[in-house]
Amino acid sequence: MNLLLGIDIGTTGVKSILIDEKGKVRHTAREEYPLSSPRPGWAEQDPELWWKATAKSIRRLIDGGAPASKIAALSFSGQMHGLVPMGADDKPLRPAILWCDQRTFRECEQIEQKLGARLIKIASNPALAGFTAPKILWMKKNEPALYKKMEYFLLPKDYVRLKLTGERGTDISDASGTILVDVASGGWSEELFSDLGIRRSAAVRIFGSGQLCGEITREAARATGLRQGTPVAAGGADNTCAAVGTGIVRAGLVSSSIGSSGVIFAHTDALKVDPQCRVHSFNHSAPGKFYLMGVMLSAGLSFKWFRDTFGEAEKAFEKAKGRDAYDQLAKLASGAPAGCEGLVFLPYLNGERTPHKDPFARGVLFGISTRHTRAHAVRAVMEGIVFGLKDSLDIIESLGTRVKQVRVTGGGGKNAFWRQMQADVFGKPVVTMENDEGPAFGAALLAGVGAGVFPSVETAAAKTVRLASSVEPRREMTAVYKKNHALFKSLYPALKDSFKKGFVE
């Protein structure tokens, strides 16, 4: 039986998995790497870290008994929006500027002022600090000597594919996150490159996510243990690969993912754009399809912040007894009432993308009284994260997307208390998958499409994605959360100006 290799180039590490044609995971390996923040609000990585971690993870699979001769194809998922400026020698000119980097707010203002509504008409999105085009303009202004040497630019996963195949390229789902693509037509926008003063020659060829675009070179085979000539498919953005891997490839299905960031992802057959640009509209990895997406910058990161700052007892117990600190905190939270007796948390620790588009926004714990305990506080953090996701879900539904079911992944899908909270807040059935391998699983399915193992992305998902459990919303709890969500929504507009006044660059 053929094996398919999926590689996810994440923000904190690489995950490589091998699955068979039925979707069963045969082998997994993960390698981590650091994130650099040379200045407040900056986020960078050396692209060589991605390559070395990828090669090491694949070598671990092969050395662990995965037969290289059985691997029919491989493909990638990758963190979106990161800028990897490349020289003519196919080497990076500087560390990559990542999706969570916030340095480009001035460039975003300039883009918005210059292009206005035309940007939305073409790219279907506004200029946000995390996107790629503002990073290119920042580099042009602040590092002009390096910018002149930039032969072309890549996105993070595309650098790893270059190292494996020697081929320059990207895929449509990832490219659409640069805001240099005409999303409706699915190609680079000559108009946007011209208006922004970015060389069109710096843009590489765009492939379909499941399209073959190279094969493993002799050098890459030596580094990884893979068979020379193994086919490589273009792959996709991490969010679209996660959607493929959870079957979000048809209308009515939505995924809720709580990792470091938080994502609400809704498949659409036709392009839909929010006139206020409160959610993103991008190209899907399923050919000719699109998606609406809400992104929170500090979802799981907010829970991590609470654990690291106020969860010393849980961390110590985890170290001594092996019980996960997050599960302990969730159990503590379950002892507080829904709504936390008026305590509300705004999860904007590092600014926010949707729906507020505000790099200055910050976290708030509102409504503290002498009645409130640590249990109330941790529950408020968890509720605030889900309320932030609910903001995007409501906008998506207001655009005419009917949501029948929410498929949960990440940390928010592993804990029963948090799953029930999502069902109650969303007012929708919440389900889990048999496997929760995330974007790497979707990448492996795209490899199967490229190799002809599956005739389409939709068929690949139908044959391999299986549901595990389901949670129904409780009507009485949905009513409680509806009231508290209204309070949550009222706080950001009241504090918006104060956030900016308190900003320290």
Residue 163 has pLDDT above 90, yes or no: yes
Specify whether 150 is located in the same domain as 180.
yes
Q: How confident is the model at residue 461 (pLDDT cuts 50, 70, 90)?
A: very high
Q: How confident is the model at residue 159 (pLDDT cuts 50, 70, 90)?
A: very high
Residue 419 has pLDDT above 80, yes or no: yes
Pairing of strands 170-171, 206-207: parallel
Specify whether 305 is located in the same domain as 196.
no
Specify whether 33 is located in the same domain as 161.
yes
Give percent above pLDDT 70 in the chain.
99
Q: Note the pLDDT of residue 410.
A: 81
Residue 41 has pLDDT above 90, yes or no: no
Specify whether 231 is located in the same domain as 327.
no
H and E: helices and strands count for the chain: 19, 24
450 occurs within a structural domain: yes
Q: What is the pLDDT of residues 270-283, one digit of tens each?
A: 999 999 999 999 99
Q: How confident is the model at residue 261 (pLDDT cuts 50, 70, 90)?
A: confident
State how far the alpha carbon of 429 is from the alpha carbons of 311, 408, 422, 474, in Å. Answer: 31, 10, 9, 10
The mean pLDDT value for 48-72 works out to 95
Specify whether 62 is located in the same domain as 86.
yes
78 occurs within a structural domain: yes
263 occurs within a structural domain: no
The count of domains in the chain is: 2
Specify whether 23 is located in the same domain as 135.
yes
294 occurs within a structural domain: no
Higher pLDDT residue, 272 or 1? 272
Domain with 57 in it: what CATH number?
3.30.420.40
The mean pLDDT value for 381-390 works out to 98
Specify whether 197 is located in the same domain as 164.
yes
Specify whether 311 is located in the same domain as 341.
yes
Q: Note the pLDDT of residue 294.
A: 96
Specify whether 490 is located in the same domain as 442.
no
The mean pLDDT value for 17-35 works out to 95
> What sign results for the dihedral spanned by CA atoms 124, 234, 412, 83?
negative
- What is the model's pTM? 0.91
Specify whether 452 is located in the same domain as 495.
no
253 occurs within a structural domain: no
Q: Note the pLDDT of residue 412.
A: 81
Return d(Cα 254, Cα 264) in angstroms, integer.
7
Q: Note the pLDDT of residue 505.
A: 54
Higher pLDDT residue, 153 or 350? 153
Specify whether 229 is located in the same domain as 92.
yes
Q: Mean pLDDT in the chain? A: 95
Q: Note the pLDDT of residue 1.
A: 78
256 occurs within a structural domain: no
Q: What is the pLDDT of residues 196-224, one digit of tens each?
A: 999 999 999 999 999 999 999 999 999 99
Specify whether 461 is located in the same domain as 485.
no
Whether 90 is catalytic is no
351 occurs within a structural domain: yes
**Helix or strand run (H / E) with residue 236:** strand 236-237
413 occurs within a structural domain: no
Q: How confident is the model at residue 359 (pLDDT cuts 50, 70, 90)?
A: confident
Residue 368 has pLDDT above 90, yes or no: yes
Domain range for 454 is 3-246+438-465
Lowest mean pLDDT among 33-42, 114-123, 183-192, 231-240: 33-42
4, 447 Cβ separation under 8 angstroms: yes
Q: Is 366 exposed, middle or buried (0-12, 13-18, 19+ CB in 10 A)?
A: middle
Q: How confident is the model at residue 328 (pLDDT cuts 50, 70, 90)?
A: very high
Q: Which of 238, 358, 394, 424 is catalytic?
A: 238
